[in-house]
Amino acid sequence: MKQAIDMAVDNVRRDGGPFAALVVRDRIVIASGANQVTRSNDPTAHAEIVAIREACRVLGDYQLTACEIYASCEPCPMCLGAIYWSRPARIYYAATHDDAARAGFDDTFIYRQMASTPSQRTIPMIRVQEELRTRPFEEWARKGDRVRY
């Protein structure tokens, strides 16, 4: 965990956000990531996302079974979603949402938005009535060799 925190401190010095994460398997660090949102013009380049993508590249898999993630801070909703899709065994984190909020990173707001219905969110989410909306799922169901994820 000290390594993740040190990496987050270094990342601030290199014009990144104050976050870093490591992916560990069998006690070996197989990938790491630091926040690169502003440096790489990528709003999804949070530390955990960068580390998960790198770990999957290293493993040649889209699942992180038997891996652990060490995050310098409690994951935001986007990163928590990525964690659920990549399915590591467990997550360790150091700083909390409250620590992050005090530093100006208000994940709590997004967590609250998640709990709202789409039409009540601050970014309007509008459902378009479209008869063909389930066609992609029908195509998927018909596909014999589909790879579930």
Residue ranges in 61-100 that form contacts with a copy of itself under rule CB under 8 A: 61-64, 72-96, 99-100
Active site residue 138: no
Structure tokens at 103: 């530093």
Of residues 61, 14, 15, 55, the one with CA closest to residue 32: 55
Strand 28-34, strand 67-73: pairing: unpaired
User: Least separation, in Å, of the C-beta of 127 and a copy of itself?
Assistant: 6
Give the closest residue to 54 by CA, choosing from 99, 10, 101, 7: 7
Contact 59, 31 (CB under 8 A): no
User: Contact with a copy of itself (CB under 8 A): which of 27, 41, 117, 144?
Assistant: 41
- Kindly tell me which residue out of 26, 28, 143, 144 binds a copy of itself, with binding defined by CB under 8 A: 143
Q: How far is the CB of 42 from a copy of itself (least distance, A)?
A: 6
Q: Does 29 bind a copy of itself (CB under 8 A)?
A: no
DSSP for residue 96: -
For position 12 contacting a copy of itself by CB under 8 A, the verdict is yes
Active site residues: 48
